[in-house]
Structure formats: C-alpha cells, structure tokens
Amino acid sequence: MGSTGALPAFERAVLGQPLNSDERQALAGWLAWLQNASNQQRVSFLPDQPTAEAEFKAGRLDWIPCRSTVLPKLRQVMGPALGVAPLPDGEGHQASPINRLRVLALGRSSSAAGRRRALVFSGYIVNPLTQRTLTLGSQTVLPANRFVTVPVQSSQVLAAMVAAAKQGLQANTLVALVHTNDPRIQLVQNLLTQLVFGETTPSGGATKLIRILQSPP
C-alpha cells in the first residue's frame, strides 16, 4: 500500500464501519500514489497477471510482482538471468503482499478407513523433515510447520520468500475478510483502471472505493 493508514482503512471499510477523515485521506493518498506511478515512463499497468508474466518472459519488462509458485516457469525461460527479491518498501511504510495458504481438508463422505489414511498422510506431509524437503526441493512454498527453519543464508529465493511472508502479515486480516471470489474485487479493479487512465481523481476514487468496500459481498 502507498500509505501507512491504507490497510486499516480498507479493513474498516470492508467491515462496514464509518471512516474518519484521516482514513479517507489514507485511501486517497494510496490512489494518488498509484496514479502518479502510472504517469512514470518506465511503469506499466497491465490487465492481468498472465499478461505481466508473458511480457516479463519476453524481455519487455525489467521486473514484475508475482507469486513464488510461478518461479519454475519463469526460470525455464530466463535461466540464471532471473532474480528474485521481496517487494521494495516505501518511505514510511512497508510493502504488503498477499500471503496465500495451502490447506488440507477432509471430506465428510470419506469412509473410516479413508479418513485414517488421510490423517496419516496429513501427519506425514507436515512433519518437519517432509516440510523442509518440500521447501528446499521446490523453492516455491514456505513450510507450514513453524518448527522448520528456512535456510535463508544459502538461498536468495528462500530469503526473498521469507521477507515477503513477513511483509504480508499485516495484510492477513484484510485477506481473511475478502475471499478470492468476492464480487467487490472486480469492482475495485474496474475503479483502478479508471484511475490509471485519468477517468477519476484520487479523491473521487476514494469515495467510490469506500462505497464499493462497504457494500455487501
């Protein structure tokens, strides 16, 4: 986020709570930061993540934000030219990437024997040795087991992932409030498109953004 108060303002708006003038200004400041970035010669806003990844692999972009799970595909194309780093922090605020968790779920329709096998497999997959092996072997996910130490000194990729995970902790509350299929996400994306193309101002955009976030999902 481009402002220290933007995340709390987002959370309050999603919860349907009224925002004070400072919180509204924080959202307007974040939108102004985005609009200013879009006016820079070497900054591009693209329609979706696959487009950004394709442009990056084609050598038309210097860097992109992405999830760690796409690193193998990028590495296949770019080889040793691929560098990985956490998102840069801004002046007076920390970057706030979104952390996604992978979970194991047991279905209600499983047989007793099937449930026992699933529980055994779940225990195996989260034990420290397996978690460490998965982390080192893939270098695309971090261990869910908190007792596993990630060897950040020996891998730039793992060090970047650990740093990004710490950055993303501040956004966990917002992530829990807004699910992937929330229809408000598309409305916010449409608003940001209008902002980038100058069809709305940061101040007007903040008012529209609050209205979108406070509407029921």
Q: Could you read off the pLDDT of 55-101 as tens digits, one per residue?
A: 999 999 999 999 999 999 999 999 999 999 999 988 777 899 998 88
Intra-chain end-to-end CA distance of the chain, in Å: 22
In 3D, which of 115, 56, 49, 102 has the Cα closest to residue 81? 56
Tens-digit pLDDT profile for residues 155-210: 999 999 999 999 999 999 999 999 889 999 999 999 999 999 999 999 999 999 99
Contact of 128 with 148, CB cutoff 8 Å: yes
Domain spans in the chain, listed from the N-terminal domain onward: 6-100+169-214
Q: Is 3's pLDDT higher than 60?
A: no
Tens-digit pLDDT profile for residues 11-59: 999 999 999 999 999 999 999 999 999 999 899 999 899 999 999 999 9
Q: Is the pTM of this model over 0.75?
A: yes
